[in-house]
């Protein structure tokens, strides 16, 4: 063991009180007083989260001598100078049921390193060791993580043992789940994978899930490494771990270099003895595919701004439309290519995504490059005006990927595609990221790389689609591929050009589209709908729909609302139904080709 190694001992010592205790030892602290800190944010989720606010106590000692500890900013403490080794003990409150934080009760423990492991400033490159201690009796838990073990394992310890990481950046990129989850293992292209499910879900059809996830994993490994079929995470771990928390309505994921943390709705997963999978199962598989694709795209192929991450403050890049958008394009495409969904399902999913973008007015106000840059203050801090003013680098980014893919295929008569660009990015920036170089994609390098990979110059397209606010001309591009795109109204009902939401016993305006019917009539987001033409609006959207169904576009209705606690009356001229539904269909003439 390197005598510079930073060591941590973590124990879920108070499950009922949701508290972990972590003891950190720094063999040679800084002479002027060691500074330690927690990250301000977690990679993959671009918002300052101030994880340090969940630290209940910090104490320090050297030998038997207690040392003074002073907090010096939102995330950092300075310990008074000592000869070392320096031992710092923190107690962390862990009651955040999300993929980004830490969560502990009598049923399980989960943590990201960003919530529990202090960073010894100036020693970030030193190797780390972590000893995991079990919870108090009578709890008997097992540990699941992609963190590599340090030394030989003792089978009786259920994973409560010592782990290692090459540096702090590696340490915080392997979340840990502990408890008594349902687990199934499989190999994909020879590489071990674990599916770990926490949360009650009787009769979960683990075998079916594992078979489907395996197909997705193999399709992706073969996509990036058609020759060697080598799984990417073998550069740093001996397995890949999917750790999923099942709840009533959970949804979300966070990518890591050899694992992912997921939240899913238990009703989205198949149960044994029931042949038909729930409708939401494709959503779950799409999430799995998305996070797994990130193992290449963003965990190894990264923007230069993330190589390395600056975890003390926001890290700005204009490229999230490549890292999240292209991942969103390939997540569903990989479901199709692996055969877990068919072409009809794929076109339906794609149509929904296109419809979502084309009905967001903000796409004409913000480019995806700017949306990426402002992720920290706008995409992650959305409010009632966001759909008028911002665009999602996920969804429009995925349409840019589709547009590029179709453009490259069309101009090269099908010889090249966006796949070739992804593989060039992987060869150039990704494959050796953790074992050599560690070089990220420069902000302006992408168009030249597309040309290098395919011979096609898309600089002009990207200027409009990614750095400007133009729509990707998908109707035209898809027609060239034999697919007809049309937009249609979801119903003949006249529109208020506003979205509504049930809040308690009321229906309120969630958002109002700029220059739409509600806006022009004077209505505002947060208005509580009271009556249309003197008839009360109930608490559900259907009650409003029923009232609007009595009218035609162009008619004027009287709408009463409460704004704050004041009753107001407005005259609103109803708009034509908005064409919000996208339909994609194979063109008959092309079907033969
Ligand atoms: Zn993502």
**Judgement on whether residues 473 and 430 belong to the same structural domain of the protein:** yes
Identify the H or E element spanning 245: strand 240-247
Please say which residue of 159, 178, 197 terminates a domain: 178
Cα 289 to averaged position of ligand 1 atoms, centre (Å): 10
pLDDT at 155: 73
Cα 343 to averaged position of ligand 1 atoms, centre (Å): 23
Cα 127 to averaged position of ligand 1 atoms, centre (Å): 28
Give the CATH number, domain containing residue 529: 2.30.42.10
Cα 244 to averaged position of ligand 1 atoms, centre (Å): 16
Cα 252 to averaged position of ligand 1 atoms, centre (Å): 9
Quick: pLDDT tens for 384-415. 999 999 999 999 999 999 999 999 999 999 99
Cα 222 to averaged position of ligand 1 atoms, centre (Å): 20
**Judgement on whether residues 25 and 126 belong to the same structural domain of the protein:** yes
Residue 229 φ/ψ region, left for φ over 0, alpha for ψ in the -120 to 50 degree band, beta for the rest? left
Query: Do residues 288 and 425 lie in contact, with contact meaning Cβ atoms separated by under 8 Å?
Result: no
Cα 267 to averaged position of ligand 1 atoms, centre (Å): 22
Cα 378 to averaged position of ligand 1 atoms, centre (Å): 17
Q: Pairing relation of β-strands 35-37 and 65-67?
A: unpaired
Residue 260 φ/ψ region, left for φ over 0, alpha for ψ in the -120 to 50 degree band, beta for the rest? beta
Q: Is the peptide bond before 410 cis (omega within 30 degrees of 0)?
A: no
pLDDT at residue 436 greater than cutoff 50: yes
Please say which residue of 255, 281, 307 terminates a domain: 281
65 inside domain: yes
136 inside domain: yes
Taking ligand 1, which is a single-atom ion, which protein residues have CB atoms under 5 Å away?
324
pLDDT at 1: 47
CA distances 69 to 6, 61, 90, 289, 391, Å, are 19, 10, 12, 45, 44
CB atoms < 10 A from the CB of 491, how many?
A: 14
DSSP string, 455-493: S---HHHHHHHTSS-PPP-HHHHHHHTTEEEEEE-S-S-
**Judgement on whether residues 314 and 444 belong to the same structural domain of the protein:** yes
* Distance separating alpha carbons of residues 495 and 517, to the nearest angstrom: 7
589 inside domain: no
Cα 118 to averaged position of ligand 1 atoms, centre (Å): 26
**Judgement on whether residues 163 and 202 belong to the same structural domain of the protein:** no
Give the CATH number, domain containing residue 213: 1.10.390.10
Cα 242 to averaged position of ligand 1 atoms, centre (Å): 15
CA distances 328 to 143, 321, 334, 421, 538, Å, are 31, 9, 10, 16, 37
**Judgement on whether residues 324 and 347 belong to the same structural domain of the protein:** yes
Cα 35 to averaged position of ligand 1 atoms, centre (Å): 32
pLDDT band for 593, please (50, 70, 90 cuts).
very low
Cα 331 to averaged position of ligand 1 atoms, centre (Å): 9
Cα 481 to averaged position of ligand 1 atoms, centre (Å): 27
289 inside domain: no
Cα 297 to averaged position of ligand 1 atoms, centre (Å): 9
Cα 302 to averaged position of ligand 1 atoms, centre (Å): 13
pLDDT at residue 171 greater than cutoff 80: yes
251 inside domain: yes
550 inside domain: yes
Give the rounded distance of the alpha carbon of 359 from its chain centre.
22
- How many Cα neighbours within 13 Å face the side chain of 43? 27
Quick: pLDDT tens for 309-368. 999 999 999 999 999 999 999 999 999 999 999 999 999 999 999 999 999 999 999 999
Please say which residue of 435, 463, 489 terminates a domain: 489
pLDDT at residue 305 greater than cutoff 60: yes
- Domain with 251, as residue range(s), is 181-281
pLDDT at residue 204 greater than cutoff 80: yes
pLDDT band for 588, please (50, 70, 90 cuts).
confident
**Judgement on whether residues 48 and 156 belong to the same structural domain of the protein:** yes
pLDDT at 2: 52
Cα 320 to averaged position of ligand 1 atoms, centre (Å): 9
Taking residues 141-165, what's their average pLDDT?
A: 91
**Judgement on whether residues 58 and 168 belong to the same structural domain of the protein:** yes
pLDDT at 592: 41
Two tokens, residue 381 = 């801090």
Query: Do residues 79 and 29 lie in contact, with contact meaning Cβ atoms separated by under 8 Å?
Result: yes
**Judgement on whether residues 212 and 166 belong to the same structural domain of the protein:** no
Q: Please give the torsion angle defined by the CA atoms of residues 170, 176, 182 and 187, in that order, rounded to the nearest 10 degrees.
A: 10
Query: Do residues 525 and 473 lie in contact, with contact meaning Cβ atoms separated by under 8 Å?
Result: no
**Judgement on whether residues 415 and 445 belong to the same structural domain of the protein:** yes
Taking residues 27-31, what's their average pLDDT?
A: 95
The residue with tokens 């079929």 is 229
The residue with tokens 């990207």 is 462
Cα 286 to averaged position of ligand 1 atoms, centre (Å): 11
Query: Do residues 287 and 265 lie in contact, with contact meaning Cβ atoms separated by under 8 Å?
Result: no
Cα 324 to averaged position of ligand 1 atoms, centre (Å): 5
Number of domains in the chain: 4
**Judgement on whether residues 556 and 421 belong to the same structural domain of the protein:** no
Quick: pLDDT tens for 552-584. 999 999 999 999 999 999 999 999 998 889 999
Cα 258 to averaged position of ligand 1 atoms, centre (Å): 15
DSSP string, 519-539: HHHT--TTPEEEEETTEEP-S
**Judgement on whether residues 332 and 443 belong to the same structural domain of the protein:** yes
Classify 187 as helix, strand or coil.
Answer: strand
Cα 399 to averaged position of ligand 1 atoms, centre (Å): 15
Two tokens, residue 112 = 């990201």
pLDDT at 437: 75
Give the CATH number, domain containing residue 109: 2.60.40.3650
Classify 407 as helix, strand or coil.
Answer: helix
CA distances 545 to 170, 500, 537, Å, are 52, 11, 9
The residue with tokens 């908005």 is 578
**Judgement on whether residues 308 and 406 belong to the same structural domain of the protein:** yes
Cα 77 to averaged position of ligand 1 atoms, centre (Å): 32
């Amino acid at each position: 063991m390197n005598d510079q190694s930073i060591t941590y001992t973590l124990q879920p010592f108070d499950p009922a009180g949701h508290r972990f205790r972590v003891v950190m030892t720094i063999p040679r602290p800084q002479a002027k007083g060691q500074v330690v800190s927690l990250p301000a944010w977690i990679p993959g989720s671009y918002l300052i989260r101030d994880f340090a606010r969940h630290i209940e106590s910090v104490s320090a000692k050297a030998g038997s001598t207690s040392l003074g500890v002073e907090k010096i900013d939102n995330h950092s403490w300075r310990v008074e100078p000592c000869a070392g080794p320096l031992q710092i003990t923190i107690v962390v409150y862990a009651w955040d049921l999300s993929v980004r934080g830490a969560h502990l009760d009598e049923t399980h423990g989960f943590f990201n390193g960003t919530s529990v492991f202090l960073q010894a400033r100036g020693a970030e490159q030193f190797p780390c060791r972590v000893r995991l201690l079990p919870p108090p009796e009578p709890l008997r838990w097992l540990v699941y993580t992609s963190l590599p073990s340090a030394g030989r394992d003792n089978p009786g310890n259920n994973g409560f043992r010592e782990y290692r990481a090459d540096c702090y950046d590696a340490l915080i990129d392997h979340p840990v789940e502990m408890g008594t989850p349902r687990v199934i293992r499989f190999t994909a292209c020879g590489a071990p994978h674990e599916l770990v499910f926490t949360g009650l879900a009787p009769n979960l059809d683990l075998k079916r899930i594992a078979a489907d996830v395996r197909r997705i994993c193999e399709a992706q490994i073969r996509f990036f490494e058609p020759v060697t079929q080598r799984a990417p995470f073998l550069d740093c771990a001996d397995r890949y771990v999917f750790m999923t928390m099942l709840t009533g309505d959970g949804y979300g994921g966070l990518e890591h270099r050899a694992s992912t943390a997921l939240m899913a709705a238990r009703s989205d997963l198949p149960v044994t003895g029931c042949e038909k999978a729930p409708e939401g199962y494709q959503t779950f598989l799409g999430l799995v595919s998305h996070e797994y694709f990130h193992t290449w795209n963003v965990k190894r192929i990264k923007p230069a701004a993330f190589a390395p991450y600056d975890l003390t403050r926001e890290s700005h890049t204009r490229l999230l439309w490549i890292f999240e958008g292209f991942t969103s394009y390939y997540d569903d495409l990989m479901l199709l290519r692996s055969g877990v969904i068919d072409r009809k399902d794929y076109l339906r999913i794609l149509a929904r995504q296109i419809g979502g973008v084309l009905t967001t007015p903000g796409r004409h106000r913000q480019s995806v490059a700017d949306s990426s840059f402002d992720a920290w203050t706008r995409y992650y801090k959305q409010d009632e005006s966001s759909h008028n003013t911002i665009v999602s680098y996920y969804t429009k980014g995925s349409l840019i990927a589709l547009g590029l893919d179709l453009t490259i295929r069309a101009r090269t008569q099908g010889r090249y595609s966006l796949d070739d660009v992804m593989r060039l990015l992987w060869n150039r920036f990704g494959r050796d990221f953790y074992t050599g170089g560690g070089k990220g994609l420069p902000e302006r390098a992408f168009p030249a790389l597309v040309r290098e990979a395919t011979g096609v110059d898309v600089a002009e397209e990207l200027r409009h689609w990614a750095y400007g606010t133009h729509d990707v001309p998908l109707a035209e591009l898809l027609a060239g591929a034999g697919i007809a795109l049309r937009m249609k109204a979801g119903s003949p009902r006249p529109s208020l050009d506003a979205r509504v939401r049930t809040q308690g016993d009321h229906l309120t305006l969630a958002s109002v589209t700029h220059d739409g019917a509600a806006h022009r009539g004077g209505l505002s987001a947060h208005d509580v709908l009271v009556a249309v033409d003197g008839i009360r609006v109930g608490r559900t959207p259907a009650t409003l729909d029923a009232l609007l169904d009595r009218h035609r576009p162009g008619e004027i209705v009287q709408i009463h609302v409460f704004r704050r606690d004041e009753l107001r009356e407005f005259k609103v001229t109803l708009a034509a139904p908005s064409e919000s539904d996208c339909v994609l269909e194979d063109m008959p003439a092309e079907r033969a080709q």
